[in-house]
């Protein structure tokens, strides 16, 4: 067992308890002041309180405390499958990654999915619940020919860039080479940092990362989804200030997570897709692209700017901005807003039109 995964010492537990009191104080305070939040806060009272507590928690607890409190991605998958009375279907991949099947793994079409969490947080139970909900919605509409291959990648600080991208490429390589799927029947998708990975894998297909084995495909992928994709670590757009008291993220949190991910390296087109020259996207290997964002998230400006330039080169891009939604709310605020958010609906409709 690594020192990171060792149980907390008595003193560290005391510190954790103190930190819990600090977060509880924020909860009690915001529970009162949220009634007077006005237009500066999230539209829904419960979302406003939840996001304020999330921001405080992420900067108060140490990274180690945060991870030790959380359920690892693979264990969350096992629990999710057990809750549905199903056996886990996990596949070991190269470079220490694992893939988890959701739905019928023999389905004609596959969505390779990369979870968000700043490359630091584990895939959450809500990720699996959301994706299963999307499959249910698609099945109800007569589209029962899609399965999801969910990647467990190594989170920071246990590995840093470009390990997570290498593992993401391997998930696609596995589906192509080991299951025999045609690229035309494969979608890539992800939320937040996972949206970053889905776009970076797409870039790797035509402009391989110098440290990652190239992956050539015979024809374009069916499509790529970036849900609130974290495409740039530069946080100087107006939404950072405008949505500072609405969103569950803050500049301090994102700066900490991007620093952990890059680990001293300079950002490049594969770590921050917004840095890729626009002509790199001209021979994009995907038929269609969907990007979504929440109007009330701090990443909105950077997503807006990226998509505006991207669409000039890739006109088969659909961009949906969800009114009154904060960052990745169908995952991180699911207990409050549920799974049927505007962005979820956009993804279900977009997939349904292509299955």
> What is the C-alpha R_g of the chain?
20
CA 204 → CA 180, 210, 233, 247, 350, distances in Å?
Answer: 20, 9, 19, 31, 24
Classified as helix, coil or strand, 274 is: helix
| 335-346 residues labelled b (16+ CB within 10 A) or e (exposed) | ebbebebbbbbb
**Mean pLDDT for all residues in the chain:** 96
Tens digit of each residue's pLDDT (9 = 90 or more) over 199-225? 999 999 999 999 999 999 999 999 999
CA distance 310 to 278: 7
Residue ranges covered by each domain of the chain: 1-69, 71-352
Q: Are 226 and 190 in contact (CB under 8 A)?
A: yes
Q: Look at strands 289-294 and 223-227 and give their pairing.
A: parallel
pTM: 0.96
State the Cα–Cα distance between residues 307 and 274, nearest whole angstrom. Answer: 9
In angstroms, rounded to a whole number, what is the distance separating the alpha carbons of residues 214 and 134?
31
The DSSP call for residue 95 is G
> Which of 68-72, 74-78, 197-201 bottoms out in mean pLDDT, i.e. has the lowest?
68-72
Model confidence at 1: pLDDT above 80: no
Q: How many residues does the chain have?
A: 355
Rounded Cα gap, residues 265 and 164, in angstroms: 15
Q: Which residues pair with 318 in a beta bridge?
A: 290
Tokens of 163: 């390990």
**Distances in Å between the alpha carbon of 338 and those of 73, 133, 245, 328?**
21, 10, 21, 12
pLDDT at residue 333, as a whole number: 86
- What number is the average pLDDT over the span 262-266? 96
Residue 259, pLDDT score? 97
| Per-residue model confidence as pLDDT tens digits over 301-311 | 999 999 999 99
> b/e map of 150-172 (b: 16 or more CB within 10 Å)?
bbbbbbbeebbbbbbbbbbbbbb
In CATH, the number for domain 71-352 is 3.40.50.1820
Furthest-apart CA atoms within the chain: distance in Å: 58
């Amino acid at each position: 067992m690594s020192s990171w995964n060792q149980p907390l010492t008595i003193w560290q537990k005391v510190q954790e308890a103190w930190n819990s009191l600090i977060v509880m104080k924020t909860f009690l305070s915001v529970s009162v002041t949220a009634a007077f939040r006005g237009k500066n806060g999230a539209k829904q009272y419960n979302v406003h309180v939840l996001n304020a507590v999330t921001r405080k928690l992420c900067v108060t607890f140490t990274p180690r405390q945060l991870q030790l409190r959380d359920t690892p991605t693979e264990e969350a998958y096992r629990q999710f499958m057990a809750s549905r009375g199903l056996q886990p279907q996990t596949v070991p991949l190269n470079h220490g990654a694992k893939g988890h099947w959701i739905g019928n793994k023999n389905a004609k079409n596959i969505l390779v999915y990369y979870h968000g969490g700043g490359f630091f947080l584990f895939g959450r139970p809500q990720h699996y619940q959301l994706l299963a909900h999307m499959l249910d919605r698609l099945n109800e509409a007569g589209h029962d020919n899609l399965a999801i291959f969910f990647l467990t990648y190594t989170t920071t600080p246990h590995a840093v860039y470009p390990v997570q991208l290498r593992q993401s490429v391997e998930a696609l390589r596995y589906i192509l080479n080991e299951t025999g799927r045609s690229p035309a029947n494969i979608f890539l998708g992800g939320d937040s940092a996972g949206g970053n990975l889905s776009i970076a894998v797409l870039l790797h297909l035509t402009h391989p990362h110098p440290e990652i084995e190239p992956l050539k495909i015979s024809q374009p992928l069916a499509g790529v989804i970036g849900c609130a994709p974290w495409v740039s670590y530069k946080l100087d757009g107006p939404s950072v200030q405008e949505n500072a008291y609405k969103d569950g993220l803050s500049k301090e949190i994102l700066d900490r997570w991007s620093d952990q991910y890059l680990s001293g390296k300079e950002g490049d087109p594969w770590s921050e897709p917004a840095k890729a020259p626009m002509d790199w996207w001209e021979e994009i290997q995907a038929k269609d692209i969907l990007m979504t964002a929440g109007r009330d998230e701090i990443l909105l400006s950077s997503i807006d700017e990226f998509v505006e330039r991207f669409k000039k080169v890739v006109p088969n891009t659909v961009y949906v901005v969800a009114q009154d939604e904060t960052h990745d709310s169908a995952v991180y605020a699911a207990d409050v807003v549920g799974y049927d958010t505007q962005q979820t609906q956009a993804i279900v409709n977009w997939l349904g039109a292509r299955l």
